[in-house]
Amino acid sequence: MRRTRILRAGLAVLLLLGAGATAATTPATAEEKAPASAGLLTAMQRDFGLSRQQAEARLAAEKQATALEPVARKAAGESYGGSWFEADRGTLTVAVTPGASAGTLRDIRATGATVRTVAHSARQLAATQARIDKLPAPDAVSSWHVDQKASTVVVNVVRGRQGDNDVRAFVAKARKAGPVTVHEVASAPTTFAAGTVGGDPYYTGNVRCSIGFSVHGGFVTAGHCDQHTGSVYGWDRSYVGNFQGSSFPGDDYAWVNVGSGWWTVPVVLGWGTVSDQLVRGSNVAPVGSSICRSGSTTHWHCGTVLAMNETVNYSQGAVYQMTKTSVCAEPGDSGGSFISGDQAQGVTSGGWGNCSSGGETWFQPVNEILNRYGLTLHTY
């Protein structure tokens, strides 16, 4: 049981709370120095159908692609049309517009990236999305994002609702903003906060949510979890701290200070499914990369990064610059950790579906939260 584990392993305790356990003072073991824990590899084997060797190779290729992406982006310059990780080949693809010079193509290829020509630049697509962001969206429009591979802005509409008058009007206005493609999705997104239930942290008002990542002085989590009651309580209902800042909708982030005997550690809880995962940074994983999520309801699940900078249209209002994944989640997982390898990616916001039938989940990128509040990620 979790209480037994917490009493037995103080390190895991406050990780789970987002602000819990002491920092390790002993030297790192061989496993801790490795690029991925045995538990993470096991989870990837389960969720992606890979062998251990294939999982190791994918993580190594994703780490290389993550480091390569900003260099290749700079080489592309004004012709940059986007980039993504090709899981089947283990390579980074960089898109460029038709006018890219031979020198630009040579410089990109020199980084080790593959080059692909697309119709529109990333800047043009971002401008299109920004114009759509200003439109009031009906509930049946679930989200919209830039699809760099297709070089278009994808507007996602709930299945069977494309014929609604308000949806048709929104799509017509969106098409005037720039290149737009309409896709159907199974359901509208909802946030993953939950009513108070016993067993898992953290609690505020009548809501249970999950810790995202430890920062120096506290932890980050989802903004919609802030019930504006101030106080936050841990798994054992003891006082942890208070919300120091939050934003929702528009954004979906918050941070909580930590005190009263609680402290922070750079760990994401594995819930016994995988080993607790050390956090070593927050480099952004490209589209196509594997990614895993830890939450207090459904614990540990993995999937793929599907899109970045997507605008999600919740019933409470739109949230901008979200990252979409194929990872499932359920109520109570809100605020929990999204991690790729040992790199923090973001905090769980919402989605559709569940972990029985599948679904999609969005997260608020962690670097935006850190920058907004001037926080420093607690890393190992």
Bridge partners (DSSP) of residue 253 are: 247
- Residue 179: closest CA among 86, 75, 82, 285: 82
Two tokens, residue 188:
């509208």
Given a cut of 50, whether residue 204 has pLDDT beyond it is: yes
For 259-340, strand residue ranges (E) read: 267-268, 277-278, 290-295, 299-314, 317-325, 337-340
Instruction: Tell me the residue type at 87.
Output: A
Given a cut of 50, whether residue 105 has pLDDT beyond it is: yes
**Is the Cα torsion angle 172, 174, 177, 181 positive or negative in sign?**
negative
- Express as a percent the part of the chain with pLDDT over 70: 88
Task: Report the catalytic residues.
Answer: 224, 252, 334
Whole-angstrom distance, CA of residue 128 vs CA of residue 133: 9
pLDDT in tens, 21-37: 222 222 333 333 445 67
Whole-angstrom distance, CA of residue 351 vs CA of residue 361: 4
**pLDDT value of position 230:** 81
CA angle 259, 264, 268 (to 5 degrees): 140
Given a cut of 50, whether residue 68 has pLDDT beyond it is: yes
Going from the C-alpha of 297 to that of each of 178, 188, 293, 334, the distances in angstroms are 40, 21, 11, 9
- Residue 16: closest CA among 263, 196, 210: 210
Going from the C-alpha of 269 to that of each of 1, 63, 272, the distances in angstroms are 14, 21, 8
Of the listed ranges 100-104, 264-268, 285-289, the one predicted with least confidence: 264-268
Two tokens, residue 190:
């909802």
Reported pTM: 0.78
Whole-angstrom distance, CA of residue 80 vs CA of residue 197: 48
**pLDDT value of position 15:** 24
**pLDDT value of position 380:** 87
